[in-house]
Structure 1
Amino acid sequence: MSIAEHEIENREGIPDKEHCAYSLVFDNVNKHFHAKQTTRDKGNVMKNMVQAYAALDRVPSLDLDNHQLSSTKFEESHAPISYQMKMKSDYIQLVRETLIEHIPFFKCIQLERNIEHVYEDQSAERSNLIPLGVLDKDETKIADMVDIMENYHKYVLGSREEDPITIPLFVEGLSVERSYDAQNARINADNAW
């Protein structure tokens, strides 16, 4: 039995919403304040802040392993041939739909959408976003980035006695580097600044 057949057969076995995890997303928010009169002591000011929200997963992911892909067997990490063929037919269907939609010559052709996906209903739902507020921190400063990471860590489930659940943190590329720098600085620090 292929992965696709197994997924479609087990559609009823999809866990409820309470078994879904969430992801954290943050980005910097900047506000430029113009001074009415610029002097030696007063000038234009850039206020840097960070805004975040939690996005509830529409598809349950708590049952997935957190280990690296390199530690899995080759057979587990690659789809069977039947699943690859199903994906190929799905891609062909998507190309057909795109051609019919954008090329006037093909507008007369009517196609039925026959791509089945195990999480199609969940993916069609509206995203549930929970605002986490704005922090008055500048992510370009490592000390502030440590505070930002500590603030978001309180939203991670688990206690110090048990391993916390891995929660993805989605940010832009530069913020990822800053978060790595903040983690590394915290690991090597003698105290909390």
Structure 2
Amino acid sequence: MYPMKSMKQDLEFFFTHRTVPNILEDLSLSNTATCTATETTATTSTATSKDVDALDIFTFSGLSNEDLADLGVAPLSPTAYPTSPTPPTYSIIFDNLDFYMQTHHQSISHTNKSIHWINHMCVIDRVNSLQMNEHKPANTLSSYDIGQSLPGPDTQDSLRIEYIVLGSRILTHYLEAFKTLSSVVVHHIPHKFSEEMARPSTDYPLGLLLKDETQTADLVDVLQHFQREYVPRCPNGLHKILVGGDRLTEGNCRNAQLMFAEGVSEEERLEGLVFKFEDWHAIRNLFEIYHHIFFKEASAKDHSTLLANMNLLRSVTLR
């Protein structure tokens, strides 16, 4: 073995006085010697570093960046492996599809039919929920201070700014004197996800389910279908998805989910589904309330009601 004064000198001597066949032969011997030394260490535990072939010292993987710089060798940059895009998150929206099928010639076996099906679709979330923090709260409910939920000075300032924006919209929309300022009014309060929420919704129809959501057995089949087909399975468990419908559908789904609370697994308990009601149903309910208040027949004598205006304009055909 050659005398070793420094790592740099040994490497220069090795690569200067060895040919490629000799290097390959020495590397082969080095691998054999390493395997033999490993087996001997496992049985006797008496092997020392001098028993290992000297070529093990000259592996570049064991050199630091400073050693490589002394040798004039540039360190290799880590390989940037391609990364797959983050999968989108989505919600499942479904509602009942009811229609009445009349027959031209009725018989005992051929009568009118009342059809009740379910139409469902997938709506992609504009903001991916996978980037949201899923950690548990820092404090328990018993140690929580209700004062932390009360609006402080910062919250009051934010509310004041938002009320100013809302008030400016109302003034420029309903008062003729302020309509000239409608072009400078803030019509959208900016927030963190303003750009994402300005994009149109992306939805995919998933077809019809020949089930009646008013029947408990059919609704259970539908929820089990959602759990089995649409809930993602992750290494750390199920990734929950939102399932939306009207308020009656939401209540029925929650009751059906409670019936399976004693299930063995998460899938049997339908824990991958989180139910919610859709906003357009709330707006429709609000319109029904307005219609019920202002379209009362007893309100014909009350000014500014719908029936009073109809009587004033003699527009009785609007009914």
TM-score (norm 2): 0.47
Establish whether residue 38 from structure 1 lines up as the match of residue 106 from structure 2.
Answer: yes
Q: How does 1:23-172 map to 2 (within 5 A)?
A: 23-62=91-130, 63-65=132-134, 73=144, 74=146, 80-109=152-181, 111-113=184-186, 115-153=189-227, 154-158=229-233, 162-172=236-246
When residues 76 and 131 of structure 1 are mapped into structure 2, their CA distance, relative to the original with a 3 A threshold, is farther
What does 1:1-20 align with in structure 2 at a 5 Å threshold? 18=86, 20=88
- Measure the CA separation in 1 of the matches of 2:152 and 2:90: 30
**Aligned-pair CA distance for 1:181:** 3.0
Distance 1:137 1:115, change over 3 A: closer
Q: 5+ unaligned residues in a row in structure 2: which ranges?
A: 1-84, 269-319
Cα drift, residue 21 of structure 1:
2.1
Range 150-159 or range 75-84, more displaced? 75-84
* Structure 1: 5+ residue stretches without partners: 1-16
* Residues 71, 155 of structure 1: alpha-carbon distance in 2 compared, 3 angstrom cutoff: farther
Q: Is the 1:156–1:164 Cα contact (8 Å) retained in structure 2?
A: yes
Task: Tell me the CA shift for residue 118 of structure 1.
Answer: 1.3
Change (3 A) 1:115 1:123: same
Deviation at 1:165, TM superposition (A): 1.5
Amino acid at match of 1:123: M
Whole-angstrom distance in 1 between the partners of 2:246 and 2:136: 24
Partner of 1:173: 247
Alpha-carbon distance in 2 for matches of 1:75, 1:98: 33
Tell me how far 1:81 sits from its aligned partner: 2.8
Distance 1:71 1:103, change over 3 A: farther
Q: Which among 68, 90, 105 is matched to residue 22 of structure 1? A: 90
Kindly indicate whether the alpha-carbon contact (under 8 Å) linking 1:143 and 1:182 is maintained by their aligned counterparts in 2.
no
Q: Which residue of 1 aligns with 2:77?
A: none
Letter in 1 for 2:99: K
Larger Rg computed on CA atoms: 2
Q: Conserved in 1, the CA contact under 8 Å of 2:168 and 2:185?
A: no
Work out the CA distance in 1 between the residues paired with 2:243 and 2:205. 14
User: How far apart, in 1, do the equivalents of 2:129 and 2:152 lie?
Assistant: 22
How many Å separate the matches in 2 of 1:173 and 1:134? 20
Structure 1 residues 50 and 77, CA, compared in 2 at 3 Å: closer, same or farther? Answer: farther
CA separation of 1:99/1:46 partners in 2, compared to 1, >3 Å: closer, same or farther?
same
- Distance, in Å, in 1 between the alignment partners of 2:214 and 2:95 is 12
The 1:95/1:27 distance shift into structure 2, 3 A limit, reads same
> How many Å apart are 1:127 and its aligned residue?
0.5
Return closer, same or farther for 1:170/1:140 CA change in 2, 3 Å cut-off.
same
- Give the number of equivalent residue pairs: 172
Between 1 and 2, higher relative CO (CA 8 Å, sep ≥ 6) is seen in 1
Distance 1:43 1:115 in 2: 56
Partner of 1:10: none
1:150-182 C-alpha deviation (Å, 9 max, x unpaired): 1111211115x7421121111111112221232
TM-score (structure 1 length as normaliser): 0.74
Q: Structure 2: which amino acid aligns with 1:168?
A: L
RMSD: 3.1
